[in-house]
Amino acid sequence: MNSFNLDVQPDVSGHFDEASNTISYIVKDPDSDHCAIFDSVMDIDYAAGRITHEHADALIMEVTERGLVLDWIIETHVHADHLSAAPYIQDKIGGKIGIGSKILVVQETFGKIFNEGTEFQRDGSQFDRLFEDGDTYMVGNMEAVTLCTPGHTPACMTHVVGDAAFVGDTLFMPDSGSARADFPGGDAGELYDSIVRILSLPDEMRLFMCHDYGPNGRDIRWDTTVKDEREHNIHVGGGTTREEFIRMRTARDATLAMPRLIIPSLQVNMRAGEVPTDEDGKPMLKVPVNGL
């Protein structure tokens, strides 16, 4: 386990997207004007085939109005429930786009499902950096550390920045439990192991979720602590065994419908947020029949 500098406390600004229940973050170095964006959202009206950028524009506006320098645009994984706005943001205010190196596994898997041709590169070259487990990168003067936490998808990573960890879809708030593990490449046992790894971080480490659904009518929340998750998470808290978790997760996943935006999301996100085009260069999405 890496050693983490809990004395560094990044300024974290959460932006909730109601359409996908996604939280995007602007994470600022407290000792400089540099920042990173985690898990941005590009808006889509799927029925109308219309893409817009209101959510991304709000992130861009905050970065600009605060006079910040964007160092990184981070994807915690290849999302199946919203489209990334990473290239749009990069074009407007810069920043390097990063994701876990297992994106290659995701690209190979879904390249086949979507019957992508040889022009679709399956080498992760759409991203500026592919992170391995234990890699570091800088946001201003802050060091960020990457932890491989697969199970929901092969490319899932947790990014630890000072006393804050961005866990993607691996964990939800304590009263919501954990992410599903039934997508191609997912694995409930791996997910349990990844959650255990996250919960071995220091008790006071802040954890930031990628999604929240406000169960039982509570207000939307997106931050908690390792201690709170370890003690109270309804799926893994209080000493749940690996076998118990796999049994619960497998049974629960069998009852879940596919995310509403999984088909456009996967095609776009495995390309680092670029919308695929047809042979005439026009933006175009495919619908694989009985492919998922």
Looking at residue 147, its pLDDT comes to 98
HSE (side-chain half, CA atoms, 13 Å) at 73: 24
**Residues written for the chain:** 292
Name residue 134's amino acid: G
Confidence of residue 279 (pLDDT cuts 50, 70, 90): confident
186-224 residue pLDDT tens: 999 999 999 999 999 999 999 999 999 999 999 999 999
Classify burial at 268, counting beta carbons within 10 Å of its beta carbon; exposed 0-12, middle 13-18, buried 19 or more. buried
pLDDT of residue 2: 56
| Residue 172 burial class via C-beta count within 10 angstroms: exposed 0-12, middle 13-18, buried 19 and up | buried
> Which band of pLDDT confidence, cut at 50, 70 and 90, is reported for residue 141?
very high
Q: How far apart are CA 150 and CA 256, in angstroms?
A: 20
Cβ(142)–Cβ(174) below 8 Å: no
Longest dimension (CA), the chain: 56
Pair 78, 271: CB distance under 8 Å: no
Residue 235: Cβ within 10 Å count? 21
**pLDDT, tens digit, for every residue of 78-130?**
999 999 999 999 999 999 999 999 999 999 999 998 988 878 899 999 999 99
pLDDT computed for residue 118 by the predictor: 78
Mean per-residue pLDDT, 244-259: 96
Residues 6+ apart with CB under 8 A from 247: none
